[in-house]
Amino acid sequence: MIVTTPRAFLDALAAPGAFPVRGPATARAAFLVSPLQFSLAAESASDNVYMDMAGMPDASRALVEHAELARRLSADVPVVTFPGDPEAPDGVFPNNVFATTPGRLVIGRMRHAVRRRESERRDIRAWFGATGYAEHDLSQGDFVAELTGSLVIDRARGIGYCGLSERCDLEGARAMHEAFGLALTFCFDLAEGEYHTNVVLALLAGRAAIVAPSGFHDPEVPAAIARAFGDAAIMIDADQKAAFCGNAITLAPQRAWFSTRAADALLPAQRAMLGTLGFGIGHVPLVEIEKAGGSLRCCVAEIF
């Protein structure tokens, strides 16, 4: 079922017995792509206001940050790191291009040519093929579908939250709904200037949500999402969104991961709320990587 209004979304959730838990809420492993010869692609910056084109990243420091990220995340799940591709200089955000469901590797359809190079990587495709994953390839589709950048998924219940922008259109949302085998997808427009849903919305192990109302075109949409999560919805303001507080991930049920910049921007009451909901806070400094317009969650492709 795909719905496009807050009312239809809330009505679907209210149906008797709707959307029971059907699988694990968090991944069994994760993979990253290292920032080899890391730099900023002007093409990507055309619709990513979070990119800092005035401050080019230090490639050596980015490698150190990324290695520390892999080390820290491995406390929760096994982590595989693929080498970066010099032909994809900002290709450190694989979750936009590759995603999984049990037994299936989903390959996205990227908007920009510089990112489409990533979807052609034979080494990543071959690794998943060798470990028993069948390809579900959207990369040649006549639509835009930037996977778990545009589509934030409650994996436990099979519910997707898909923000429409230049990085994902409605046909792309339909293709991802099918590719991920979702029971329900709620499609909505992001605010002007927003590029990915996972900057304005994070779902933590299926039981809590971090919501940035300023990132949505229709204020009724974040209100409906907050209503769906009740006391487990944490609302963040525009400054916190800009600090990537909405770009968080849970790789194990007991911990939410943020960049250090994002963790520092959380208010004491928000930190306390996360604790009450059963989440410790993990954080990693990503100063150089964040100059490319994404943060910790964008770096992590989940393996289910």
Q: Kindly tell me if the per-residue pLDDT of 43 is higher than 80.
A: no
Question: Given pLDDT bands bounded at 50, 70 and 90, which one contains residue 47?
Answer: low
Residue carrying structure tokens 């150089």: 288
Give the per-residue pLDDT at 45.
47
pLDDT 10s digits, 163-222: 999 999 999 999 999 999 999 999 999 999 999 999 999 999 999 999 999 999 999 999
Instruction: Average the pLDDT over 279-297 and give the result.
Output: 96
- Least confident span in 28-37, 69-78, 160-169, 248-257: 28-37
pTM of the model: 0.94
List, for residues 133-173, the tens digit of each pLDDT value. 999 999 999 999 999 999 999 999 999 999 999 999 999 99
pLDDT tens profile 97-110: 999 999 999 999 99
Q: Sign of the CA dihedral 2, 203, 147, 251?
A: negative
- DSSP characters for 6-67? HHHHHHHHHSTT-S---S-SS-SEEEEE--TT----HHHHTT-TTB-TTS---HHHHHHHHH
Q: Summarize the confidence of residues 67-71 as an average pLDDT.
A: 98
Among 74-83, 116-125, 187-196, 276-285, the minimum mean pLDDT is found in 116-125
pLDDT for the residue 42: 55
Query: Which pLDDT does position 279 carry in this prediction?
Result: 98
| Average pLDDT, integer, range 79-103 | 91
Residue 116: pLDDT band with limits 50, 70, 90: confident
The chain-wide mean pLDDT, for the chain, equals 94
- Would you list the domain boundaries of the chain? 2-303
pLDDT of residue 85 exceeding 90, the answer is no
Across residues 279-300, what is the average pLDDT?
96
Q: Where are the alpha helices (H) located in the chain, listed in sequence order?
A: 6-14, 42-45, 59-73, 113-119, 122-130, 147-150, 170-179, 220-229, 238-242, 260-265, 268-276, 296-299
pLDDT at site 227: 98
Q: Which residue has the higher pLDDT, 52 or 102?
A: 102
CATH code for 2-303? 3.75.10.10
Minimal CA–CA distance to 244: which of 284, 206, 184, 304? 284
- 42: tokens are 């002007």
- Residue 151: how many CA atoms within 13 Å on its side-chain side? 40
* pLDDT score at 50: 75
